[in-house]
Amino acid sequence: MPFLSTIVASLFSLVFAILGAKTTTPSPILRLVIRFGASILRNIPVVAWAMILLFSFKQSDFTGFLALFFMTLGYLTRAFTETIEDLDAEKLQALQAVGANYFQCVFCGVLPEAASTLTSWILYMIENNLRDATLVGLLTGTGVGFLFDHYFKSFHYDAAGLIVLLIAILVICLELTSNQIRRAIA
């Protein structure tokens, strides 16, 4: 679930970020709208998202997915926008000077230049969401969070402890792998 919401959110974020970054935005008004939207999505805590969505989506994986999705969308849109704005605007000018159009500039200039930074943001967000997924699970009664809650509330501390240990191992493995990947693509 954390994978799913991160990846889907990152696809959307990428589009929003390209439209919203100062260097690549087609219109300044759109940029303001995107920045404002992202800031709202990001600043609503994930708990509140879970509560808002619980009404409509009940106790399904979908609630958790959407709660993580919205928060990730806010975070990544901002992170991606800043990454793109940090790129040297002159490099895009160089492509414009070659006669490339907007889409060619984005695909041949912005994306390759930012690819490794964007990927590390996505990996970071997956780690983060894995942790938050537990919380969302606790609140909405899904996934591993629900399992923990179940054992914990019925005083099966041994089983609950095992779950905690498993989560820790998973997060650490993920952290190590993504560090490796980051080094490989840098």
Site for other proteins in 21-80 (CB under 8 A): 39-40, 43-48, 51-62, 65
Q: Which stretch binds other proteins (CB under 8 A): 13-21, 27-35, 135-143?
A: 135-143
Paired tokens of 64:
């958790």
Ranges of H-type helices in 21-153: 28-43, 46-57, 61-86, 89-98, 102-105, 111-140, 143-153
- Considering the complex, what minimum distance in angstroms separates the CB of residue 30 from other proteins? 19
125 interacts with other proteins by CB under 8 A: no
Whether the CB-CB separation of 41 and 81 falls below 8 Å is answered with no
Nearer to other proteins, 16 or 114 (CB): 114
Is position 119 an interface residue for other proteins (rule: CB under 8 A)?
yes
Rounded least distance, CB 72 to other proteins, Å: 13
Residue count, binding to other proteins (CB under 8 A): 71
Minimum CB separation of residue 86 from other proteins in Å reads 13
Q: Least distance to other proteins from the beta carbon of 31, Å? A: 18
CA distances for 92 relative to 23, 60, 106, angstroms = 9, 45, 8
Cβ neighbors of 143 (< 8 A, separation 6 or more) are 1, 61, 64, 133, 134, 136, 137
Residue 17 is a binding residue for other proteins (CB under 8 A): no
Q: Which stretch binds other proteins (CB under 8 A): 16-24, 25-33, 86-94?
A: 86-94
Task: Tell me which residues in 155-184 interact with other proteins (CB under 8 A).
Answer: 157, 164, 167-169, 171-172, 175, 181, 184
Instruction: Report how far residue 66's alpha carbon sits from residue 122's, in angstroms, rounded to the nearest whole number.
Output: 17
Helix 157-185 crosses helix 143-153 at what angle (to 10 degrees)? 150
Minimum separation from the CB atom of position 152 to other proteins (A): 6
Tokens 């609140």 found at: 139
